[in-house]
Amino acid sequence: MTQSADAIPSTKLFSIRAIYLRWGLLALIQLALISIPLVDRLQVQFTGKVVQLETVPVDPRDLLRGDYVVINLAITSVSTDLPGSDGLRSGDRVYVGLSADDGGIARPVLLAKSRDSAGPLAIAGTVRSATGETLRIDYGIDAFFLPEGEGRVIERLDTKRVLLEVSIAEDGRSLPLTLLVDGKAFRSDSIF
């Protein structure tokens, strides 16, 4: 003898639905938490202005993710002669105002503690060290992942041939997009 759906008590049906509802809600919360960094990166990628920065690549392997190039941006070392560098110390949040030179490469022109004071195009960073003549600034975009086998090739190249295209959002957040070697683009496999 089988029980029909009409014979199952309504309290038991309610508890089964409640269990499924809890698991479904838990899954939605997990998906939302996973998507927050993705949405942030997509916003920078689609709304940011793309600029080219000079680089010095080093160290091409990561055991878990494959080939990558550690990127030392030329704008990581900034002269204390730039306007706005007075009073900056290690750990300070800073906005580096950029301007493209004749070759299209963005170079630092001023430093500011607020985004509004940094000019129309500025990248956000943190001062890592401040010596008498130089400020070392970390922008959080120091690794570029490549298709397997290409990291060692790029490491051996003359660093003057390598540029990094970066998308910079209005608020200063940045995201590496493309590594250029003699005009050939290496697309990152970790944009997301």
- The whole-number pLDDT of residue 151 equals 67
- The whole-number pLDDT of residue 180 equals 83
| Structure token digits, residue 107 | 């170079």
At 137-152, the pLDDT tens digits run 999 887 777 766 666 6
User: Which band of pLDDT confidence, cut at 50, 70 and 90, is reported for residue 3?
Assistant: low
Residue found under tokens 């110390």: 89
**Of the given ranges (10-14, 119-123, 188-192), which has the lowest mean pLDDT?**
188-192
Cβ count near 66 (within 10 Å): 17
Spatial distance between the Cα atoms of 151 and 69, rounded to a whole number of angstroms: 6
At 87-134, the pLDDT tens digits run 888 999 999 999 988 888 899 999 999 999 999 999 999 999 988 889
At 39-64, the pLDDT tens digits run 888 888 888 888 888 776 554 555 45
- The whole-number pLDDT of residue 168 equals 93
Indicate whether 67 pLDDT > 70. no
Highest mean pLDDT among 8-12, 59-63, 161-165: 161-165
What's the whole-number mean pLDDT along residues 25-41?
88
- The whole-number pLDDT of residue 1 equals 47
Residues 45, 191 contacting (CB under 8 angstroms): yes
What's the whole-number mean pLDDT along residues 170-180?
88
- The whole-number pLDDT of residue 192 equals 43
50 CA to centre of own chain: 13
What's the whole-number mean pLDDT along residues 167-173?
92
Residues 165, 177 contacting (CB under 8 angstroms): yes
Residues 76, 129 contacting (CB under 8 angstroms): no
What's the whole-number mean pLDDT along residues 59-76?
67
